Amino acid sequence: MTFEPCYLRTYESGALARKVEDALRLMEDCTACPRDCHVNRLADEKAICRTGRYAVVSSAFAHFGEEDCLRGWNGSGTIFFSWCNLRCVF
C-alpha cells in the first residue's frame, strides 16, 4: 500500500475547486478576522487589515518547532503575511 496525501484526493475529486469558490465568495463580505469589516475584498476594498484582493506573503517555510504529530517529518507549512489584521505587536 502506498501513501497518498489527502490533498491529492481533494484536488482530483474537485473538492479543492469548490473550496476555492467558497473562499472567494466569502471575500465579497469579509469576516476573515474578528473585526468583521464586511468589505468586498474581491473589489480590492480595504479596511483595518489593508489587505484588499491579494494578501502579501512576507515569508513561507517548513516549520519544525511544533509537536511531532503536527509537523510530521518535513515540518508544518508556515506562512507569514504582511500587515497584521489584528494589530498585534508582532
Cα–Cα separations (whole angstroms), residue 23 to 2, 14, 58, 78: 31, 15, 21, 20
What is the sign, positive or negative, of the torsion defined by CA atoms of 5, 9, 11, 15? Answer: negative
Task: Output the pTM of the full model.
Answer: 0.63
Distances in Å between the Cα of 41 and the Cα atoms of 18, 22, 28, 54, 57 are 19, 14, 6, 8, 16
pLDDT, tens digit, 9 for 90 and up, residues 42-57: 999 988 888 889 888 8
When the pLDDT of each residue in the chain is averaged and rounded to a whole number, the result is 85
Residue 80 identity (one-letter amino acid): F
DSSP state of 71: H
